[in-house]
């Protein structure tokens, strides 16, 4: 009686075909991508004005735009954005450059790897935010502690990815170099550096993101300026619309800084197809 035999459910075929339905046109796809956030904003605006959601926590988008516009026209937003941007850039430079150099050196030298990998591995899991009090102690309330926070965020991701970048190089490329008579420095120049570059930049990309998180956090906890400070003071004065406006700007800054690394990557790594994105 039981139907345990092998059978193909007849619905399987149409379902399989449905999966392979030709993709909608590119224009339709773009339209959907643009319309869905706009629709969300519209619903938000309407429900906020109608009093269905609490305007104290979720002010209507129009009032956020107003707050944003006020902050722009008074120059306040730009002032603080510039400061955060400066800290992010300086921290990325201070953390990223030594990290890339050290990571590459660790990838190339087994001894350096043996010596330093345990230290990095042991300190890596520590939440970097927990270091801020210590950094305040060391660098004081000035610029140093904030920049150091960004630098630490960039450093760890850049150092580990740069090292992995060298280690991930297919050994056949080293063999090729050797059979053509490459000396050690030639190998570094023609194989190790270019071979590691894709992962180096991937590390920087992640590092800049983390650096921004830590930088803004540091500004909230101990600064008199910057986007983090602006966020915090918006909370303290309960100007919720400004809070949203600054959040938006911070998100844009994160997006743009990652894009900058992407542009750098397209320029430095022209041999990787545009297959990503």
Q: Which is nearer to other proteins, 44 or 173 (CB)?
A: 173
Q: Which is nearer to other proteins, 88 or 196 (CB)?
A: 196
Q: Which is nearer to other proteins, 195 or 207 (CB)?
A: 195
Q: What is the DSSP string of 157-196?
A: HHHHHHHHHHHTS-HHHHHHHHHTT--HHHHIIIIIHHHH
d(CA 218, CA 223): 7
- Among 200, 190, 189, 204, residue whose Cα is nearest residue 167: 200
Task: Please report how close the Cβ of residue 180 comes to other proteins at its closest, in angstroms.
Answer: 4
Task: Please report how close the Cβ of residue 258 comes to other proteins at its closest, in angstroms.
Answer: 23
Q: What are phi and psi of 9, to 5 degrees?
A: -60, 135
Q: Which is nearer to other proteins, 186 or 262 (CB)?
A: 186
Which residues of this protein are in contact with other proteins, per CB under 8 A?
172-173, 175-182, 186, 190-191, 194-195, 197, 269-273
Q: What are phi and psi of 165, to 5 degrees?
A: -60, -40
Task: Please report how close the Cβ of residue 161 comes to other proteins at its closest, in angstroms.
Answer: 17
Which H, E and C letters describe 192-212, residue by residue?
Answer: HHHHHHHHHHHHHHHHHHHHH
Look up residue 259 and give its two tokens: 């894009």
Q: Which is nearer to other proteins, 85 or 268 (CB)?
A: 268
Tell me whether residue 34 is exposed, middle or buried, using C-beta atoms within 10 angstroms of its C-beta: 0 to 12, 13 to 18, 19 or more.
Answer: exposed
Task: Please report how close the Cβ of residue 130 comes to other proteins at its closest, in angstroms.
Answer: 39
Look up residue 232 and give its two tokens: 């915090």
Task: Please report how close the Cβ of residue 273 comes to other proteins at its closest, in angstroms.
Answer: 5
Task: Please report how close the Cβ of residue 178 comes to other proteins at its closest, in angstroms.
Answer: 6
Q: Which is nearer to other proteins, 61 or 198 (CB)?
A: 198
Contact 219, 146 (CB under 8 A): yes
């Amino acid at each position: 009686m039981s139907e345990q035999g092998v059978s193909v459910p007849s619905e399987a075929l149409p379902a399989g075909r449905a999966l392979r339905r030709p993709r909608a046109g590119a224009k339709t796809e773009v339209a959907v991508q643009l319309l869905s956030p706009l629709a969300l904003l519209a619903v938000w605006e309407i429900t906020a004005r109608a009093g269905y959601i609490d305007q104290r926590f979720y002010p209507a988008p129009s009032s956020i735009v107003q707050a944003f516009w006020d902050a722009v026209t008074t120059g306040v937003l730009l002032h603080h954005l510039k400061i955060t941007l400066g800290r992010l850039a300086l921290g990325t430079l201070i953390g990223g450059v030594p990290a890339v150099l050290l990571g590459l050196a660790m990838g190339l030298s087994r001894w350096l790897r043996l010596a330093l990998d345990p230290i990095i591995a042991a300190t890596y899991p520590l939440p970097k935010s927990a270091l801020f009090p210590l950094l305040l102690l060391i660098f004081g309330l000035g610029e140093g502690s904030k920049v150091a926070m960004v630098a630490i965020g960039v450093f760890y991701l850049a150092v580990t990815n740069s090292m992995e970048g060298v280690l991930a190089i297919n050994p056949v490329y080293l063999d090729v170099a050797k059979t053509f008579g490459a000396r050690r420095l030639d190998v570094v120049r023609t194989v190790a550096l270019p071979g590691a570059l894709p992962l180096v930049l991937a590390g920087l990309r992640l590092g800049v993101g983390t650096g921004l998180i830590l930088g803004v956090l540091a500004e909230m906890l101990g600064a008199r300026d910057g986007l983090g400070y602006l966020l915090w003071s918006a909370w303290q004065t309960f100007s919720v619309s400004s809070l949203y406006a600054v959040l938006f700007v911070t998100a844009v800054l994160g997006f743009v800084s990652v894009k900058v690394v992407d542009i750098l990557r397209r320029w430095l790594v022209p041999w990787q197809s545009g297959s990503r994105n």
